Chains A and B, each alone.
Chain A
């Protein structure tokens, strides 16, 4: 019932008059309270999970830290709210969090009917299936009749229904409210298959007792563009959120990283000079300082560094960057220019 109360209270909050504070922009509110309230997942290694020191870390977490660095010059001025798939949108709508950075798929329905704005695609993903090796299954098309564990309130359960119907296969879905319940049911043998976004399958596999006994099937059955989300109606905040992400991509593209950002300020390349606020006053247009990108890159890093540290070669997950390589390197990550 506690979950019910959370949602009920959030829903009830919407029936109160907008307080004067929320009439002000999100940026002003955030500045006056001194931190960003960031909604993350309840624990997916590599995306958002507490590390051994008890600090939140991961790809989705670092995005919020970059935002805090841009605003406060301090990546630690963030408070994290772990949200289940089910509660995440209500929490954002009701103002419980300022931004949702939680492997959330960008869909038309969510973008419009839920009153949300998607900031961009920080991670191009797709849905996959994981099974036990001992079942000797090589393709998702052999899954007819299987029991499938998944999480409720996700695009995952919708794609699943589409996929099995399209391929005229039968299945049984067992849907849980949190990752841990889902994983436990899969491990206990309740289900033959666990399904979610492929990247999360890799991270979930690390949580299993013996990761090597499980395989991820080759089929990717959907497009899952994951990205941060803000509420409708505050364009300034939406812009800051978007450009924080773009700045991290542009920094990588121009070779600016946390290691060389100070030297790069002396660069003669006009693109780099604009990026780092040495020339022009682009940051002020956003309501920030002109060195906002320097703050992001020096405190958190560029897109490539963040990816590598949390998901790529520098992490336990060792996920190939694939589509998430820059467009200049054969991927589809492409940011508008800082100018």
Chain B
């Protein structure tokens, strides 16, 4: 790209075809037309074939009521709701299990990856066994293991295991105590928000002060006081507006409280532990890619192992870790569709499965399904790319 300054070397009769710029434009143009023609070909054929077979087409089905129930839904849903709503119920269920799964997988993965490099022999062996066992067993097998082998083996509802009355575990999943927000609880919420904002501001201020004057400030203690103290004060001042609904055994199962389905729990555990075993290897590779000299230099400055890891090694390792980590996040999200095997109502199961079958509109539904997974993947990659750019080495 230096030809702005220096005039392009004069070639004999640079024809349209030999000019690299026009040539690449031409090729792209031809490709574009070919793709467009192919798309048109498939769409028009699809329409003709469906019409010839009297199969309903179009997206009108999204407004029809579904007639079936779904076991877990984050938004209001019953069998009189539309297929359009089924789409969102499924999508949210997929995002829920993938989102929480990604958080858990990252935490476990980092812990195991670092443990594997530990000087403690037992710890590093345990981490190695974890990685080798989990990584080498098929995920579907692990999902079924957690579902049929562990959760289904829990006692029946009437003999539920109780965790201090706060939660009950039985073969129908987990029941948690549910907080009930009465009048005035929004003030408590606002107080919590204020606490978080104040804590962040305080941290920023303390950092600047330390930079300028060298004086440290008890950041963590103050932050905890702000984040917990403010809402507690508000709670007392507004007359304890938040109460707790305790789960109660009635009829077939518990009523009251929050129910977490065993399908969700099994899928979440399997997805996060499985993905964590890959993340652990990525983290290990990333840390090993940071040259030994960095650690030695930090040691010679008198830093202790904890801060060395946190301040010197991990930030540099992250640059190696983030790109493959992104693929793991994408894998986890796509793997969540294996939940069909245990009846978890994720997007794939309720939309590409049940809805497709009840309406028979395979082409529309498969196209929408591909679009959804593609969009989720592209958004995840985009976010990770932004993060990667921020972490990238700033060259001076």
Interface residues of A (CB under 8 A from B): 1, 3-4, 7-8, 10-11, 14-18, 85-90, 93, 110, 112-115, 144-147, 149, 152-154, 157-158, 160-162, 165, 171-177, 181, 184-185, 188-190, 192, 231-233
User: Do B42 and A15 touch across chains, with their CB atoms under 8 A apart?
Assistant: yes
Binary A-proximity of B49-78 (CB < 8 A = 1, otherwise 0): 110111110000000000111110000001
A270, chain B: closest CB distance, angstroms? 39
**Chain A residues whose C-beta falls within 8 Å of the C-beta of B152 in the assembled complex:** 185, 188-190
**Chain A residues whose C-beta falls within 8 Å of the C-beta of B42 in the assembled complex:** 15-16
User: Do B251 and A144 touch across chains, with their CB atoms under 8 A apart?
Assistant: yes
- In the bound complex, what is the Cα–Cα distance between A115 and B360 (angstroms)? 9
9 contacts between A and B (CB under 8 A): A90-B362, A93-B360, A153-B354, A153-B358, A162-B79, A173-B68, A173-B69, A177-B353, A185-B343
Give me 16 other A-B pairs in contact (C-beta within 8 A), A1-B337, A86-B356 excluded: A7-B352, A86-B354, A86-B357, A90-B362, A93-B55, A145-B252, A158-B67, A162-B67, A162-B79, A165-B79, A173-B71, A181-B342, A185-B152, A188-B148, A190-B171, A190-B262
User: Do B363 and A14 touch across chains, with their CB atoms under 8 A apart?
Assistant: yes
User: Do A8 and B343 touch across chains, with their CB atoms under 8 A apart?
Assistant: no
For the complex, is B263 an interface residue (Cβ under 8 Å from A)?
yes
B207, chain A: closest CB distance, angstroms? 48
User: Do B55 and A115 touch across chains, with their CB atoms under 8 A apart?
Assistant: yes
User: Do A161 and B353 touch across chains, with their CB atoms under 8 A apart?
Assistant: no
Which of B153, B338, B366 is A8 in contact with, Cβ under 8 Å? B366
A168, chain B: closest CB distance, angstroms? 13
For the complex, is B156 an interface residue (Cβ under 8 Å from A)?
yes
Which of B78, B341, B345 is A175 in contact with, Cβ under 8 Å? B345
B96, chain A: closest CB distance, angstroms? 17
Q: Which residue of B lies closest to A160 (CB)?
A: B69
Which of B55, B71, B171, B349 is A189 in contact with, Cβ under 8 Å? B171
- In the bound complex, what is the Cα–Cα distance between A7 and B363 (angstroms)? 9
User: Do B53 and A231 touch across chains, with their CB atoms under 8 A apart?
Assistant: yes
- In the bound complex, what is the Cα–Cα distance between A174 and B54 (angstroms)? 33
User: Do B366 and A157 touch across chains, with their CB atoms under 8 A apart?
Assistant: no
User: Do B54 and A232 touch across chains, with their CB atoms under 8 A apart?
Assistant: yes
Which of A18, A113, A192 is B56 in contact with, Cβ under 8 Å? A113
For the complex, is B46 an interface residue (Cβ under 8 Å from A)?
yes
Q: How many A-B residue pairs have CB under 8 A?
A: 160
- In the bound complex, what is the Cα–Cα distance between A176 and B251 (angstroms)? 25
Which of A3, A14, A171, A175 is B343 in contact with, Cβ under 8 Å? A175
- In the bound complex, what is the Cα–Cα distance between A18 and B42 (angstroms)? 12
Q: Which residue of B lies closest to A231 (CB)?
A: B53
**Chain B residues whose C-beta falls within 8 Å of the C-beta of A115 in the assembled complex:** 50, 53-56, 360
**Chain B residues whose C-beta falls within 8 Å of the C-beta of A181 in the assembled complex:** 341-343
* Contact A176:B67 (CB < 8 A) given known A157-B354, A192-B252: no
- In the bound complex, what is the Cα–Cα distance between A161 and B263 (angstroms)? 20
For the complex, is B348 an interface residue (Cβ under 8 Å from A)?
yes
Tell me the dominant secondary structure on chain A's binding face.
Answer: mixed
- B: number of interface residues (CB 8 Å): 55
User: Do A152 and B360 touch across chains, with their CB atoms under 8 A apart?
Assistant: no
For the complex, is B45 an interface residue (Cβ under 8 Å from A)?
yes
- In the bound complex, what is the Cα–Cα distance between A319 and B156 (angstroms)? 33
- In the bound complex, what is the Cα–Cα distance between A171 and B71 (angstroms)? 9
- In the bound complex, what is the Cα–Cα distance between A174 and B173 (angstroms)? 12
**Chain B residues whose C-beta falls within 8 Å of the C-beta of A110 in the assembled complex:** 360
- In the bound complex, what is the Cα–Cα distance between A15 and B48 (angstroms)? 9
- In the bound complex, what is the Cα–Cα distance between A184 and B363 (angstroms)? 32
* Contact A114:B251 (CB < 8 A) given known A165-B79, A177-B340: no
Q: Which residue of A lies closest to B251 (CB)?
A: A145
Smallest CB-CB A-B distances: 7 pairs:
A153-B357, A188-B152, A115-B55, A161-B79, A114-B360, A15-B46, A11-B362
- In the bound complex, what is the Cα–Cα distance between A156 and B79 (angstroms)? 13
For the complex, is B116 an interface residue (Cβ under 8 Å from A)?
no
* Contact A4:B45 (CB < 8 A) given known A115-B54, A189-B171: no
User: Do B45 and A152 touch across chains, with their CB atoms under 8 A apart?
Assistant: no
For the complex, is B250 an interface residue (Cβ under 8 Å from A)?
yes
- In the bound complex, what is the Cα–Cα distance between A115 and B71 (angstroms)? 30
For the complex, is B43 an interface residue (Cβ under 8 Å from A)?
yes
User: Do B352 and A18 touch across chains, with their CB atoms under 8 A apart?
Assistant: no
User: Do B156 and A189 touch across chains, with their CB atoms under 8 A apart?
Assistant: yes
For the complex, is B319 an interface residue (Cβ under 8 Å from A)?
no
Q: Which residue of B lies closest to A10 (CB)?
A: B362
**Chain A residues whose C-beta falls within 8 Å of the C-beta of B337 in the assembled complex:** 1, 4
Most chain A CB within a 10 A radius of its CB, from B262, B341, B362: B362
For the complex, is B172 an interface residue (Cβ under 8 Å from A)?
yes
Q: Which residue of B lies closest to A16 (CB)?
A: B45
For the complex, is B359 an interface residue (Cβ under 8 Å from A)?
yes
B170, chain A: closest CB distance, angstroms? 9
**Chain A residues whose C-beta falls within 8 Å of the C-beta of B71 in the assembled complex:** 172-175
**Chain A residues whose C-beta falls within 8 Å of the C-beta of B341 in the assembled complex:** 176-177, 181
User: Do B357 and A85 touch across chains, with their CB atoms under 8 A apart?
Assistant: yes
**Chain A residues whose C-beta falls within 8 Å of the C-beta of B56 in the assembled complex:** 112-115
User: Do A90 and B356 touch across chains, with their CB atoms under 8 A apart?
Assistant: yes
- In the bound complex, what is the Cα–Cα distance between A174 and B43 (angstroms)? 36
Q: Which residue of A lies closest to B259 (CB)?
A: A172
B300, chain A: closest CB distance, angstroms? 52
A148, chain B: closest CB distance, angstroms? 9
User: Do A113 and B171 touch across chains, with their CB atoms under 8 A apart?
Assistant: no
User: Do A11 and B53 touch across chains, with their CB atoms under 8 A apart?
Assistant: no
Q: Which residue of B lies closest to A94 (CB)?
A: B362
**Chain A residues whose C-beta falls within 8 Å of the C-beta of B250 in the assembled complex:** 145
For the complex, is B253 an interface residue (Cβ under 8 Å from A)?
yes
- In the bound complex, what is the Cα–Cα distance between A172 and B78 (angstroms)? 11
